[in-house]
Amino acid sequence: MKVLRLFLSSPAAVIGFALFLVVVAMAASADLAYPGDPLDLAGRPLQWPFTNPRFPLGTDVQGRDIAAVIFHGARVTLAIGGAATAIAMTIGIAVGALAGYHGGLVDEILMRLTEAFQTLPNFLLLLVFIAVFGSDIATVILAIGVVSWPASARLTRAEFLTLRSREFVQAARVLGMRDLPIIFREILPNALPPVIVYASVVMAVAILLESALAFLNLSDPNVPSWGNLIGTGRAVLRTQWYVSAIPGVAILITVLAVSLVGQGLNDALNPRLKGRP
């Protein structure tokens, strides 16, 4: 397949995909490598990495095994990033598709709504949602998705504006197809490549937003997320910096992997590069 060959021809994309597979493998093997609740107390607090064979990455301020939290946190991080991205892209694609296809008053109303969401920074709007609706993990995921859709809506709208007057759309109208089938069966598949690429950006941002909330103790404390581990290490950052540094590196690797995969998809799906041998 040509797209796959173009993707694999990019060293950055291959590295990113390999790193992403490592994170997925950690999430899949968490129960086998570290059975039980990773939030349970495991030993003496604040043991440095590699000083106790039982805790290769040390323990945090509450005596929890950092390695166990890292493995189980990979599952939480991927779930948060994936679910929030799905919510954001669903809203964004629906709004952008309707605005770009219909134009006129529909476009004006939907774009003003999009601009209203973009007036405030994402994180500030996210704080408002958390303050109003609470900080359980389902609410955090929904809130991240709700504040992250405007850019994908604008991108989808731009694609629809360029495609809605093409010959295959005119032919579908002549054949009597209704608007919704034209939008979702004819135009949307042709508009998806850049939107799919942008989804990697949304996922990376979603992971960072949840980590920022957890660092401020505003995320769900009952889940073993990397952000929560960073937050618990904030009080001992000057002396036991490893408590925050280890999950910080895990977040960095995951965000880098998602970004590199997105870059590879952009190279593979970019129409200007499809003629490349």
Answer whether 15's CB lies under 8 Å from 260's CB: yes
| CA-based torsion, 21, 25, 26, 27: positive or negative | positive
276 vs 139, more confident: 139
Residues 98-110: b if buried by 16+ CB within 10 A, e if exposed: bbbbeeeeebeeb
pLDDT for residue 29: 93
Higher pLDDT, 1 or 207: 207
Q: Determine the pLDDT at residue 254.
A: 93
Chain centroid offset of residue 271 CA: 25
* Residue whose entry in the numeric block shows the structure tokens 């995320």: 219
pLDDT greater than 70 at residue 276: no
166 pLDDT tier (thresholds 50, 70, 90): confident
pLDDT of residue 89: 94
59-69 average pLDDT score: 91
Per-residue three-class SS string for 177-235: CCHHHHHHHHHHHHHHHHHHHHHHHHHHHHHHHHHHHHHCCCCCCCCCCHHHHHHHCHH
Provide the token pair at 268. 């593979």
- Asked if 11 and 272 touch (Cβ cutoff 8 Å), the reply is no
Say if pTM beats, i.e. exceeds, 0.95: no
Please report the pLDDT score of residue 139 as a whole number.
92
pLDDT > 50? residue 275: no
CATH number of the domain at 221, please: 1.10.3720.10
Residues of the chain with pLDDT > 90: what percent? 44
Averaged pLDDT, 10-26:
91
Asked whether the predicted pLDDT for residue 90 surpasses 90, the reply is yes
Sign of the Cα pseudo-torsion (54, 60, 62, 65, in order): negative
Looking at the predicted structure, is the pLDDT value of residue 264 above 90?
no
At residue 169, the pLDDT reads 85
Mean pLDDT (the chain, rounded): 88
Task: Look at residue 270 and tell me whether its pLDDT is greater than 90.
Answer: no
Nearest of 208, 212, 192 to residue 92 by alpha carbon: 192
pLDDT of residue 146: 92
Would you state the structure tokens that stand for residue 187, as one six-digit string? 């135009």
Q: Which domain holds residue 143?
A: 2-273
CB 76 within 8 A of CB 26: no
Sign of the C-alpha dihedral computed for residues 262, 263, 264 and 266 taken in this order = positive
Domain count, the chain: 1
pLDDT digits (tens, 9 = 90+) for 173-226: 888 888 888 888 888 888 888 888 889 889 999 999 988 888 888 888 888 889
Percent share of the chain, pLDDT over 70: 97
The average pLDDT across 152-181 equals: 87
The pLDDT tens digits of the residues spanning 77-89 come to: 999 999 999 999 9
Nearest to 141 by CA among 73, 94, 209: 209
> What pLDDT is recorded for position 271?
47
More confident residue, 58 or 103: 58
Confidence of residue 249 (pLDDT cuts 50, 70, 90): very high
In the three-class reduction of DSSP (H, G, I as helix; E, B as strand; rest coil), residue 16 is classed as helix
Angle, vertex CA 104, rays to CA 99 and CA 108, nearest 5: 60
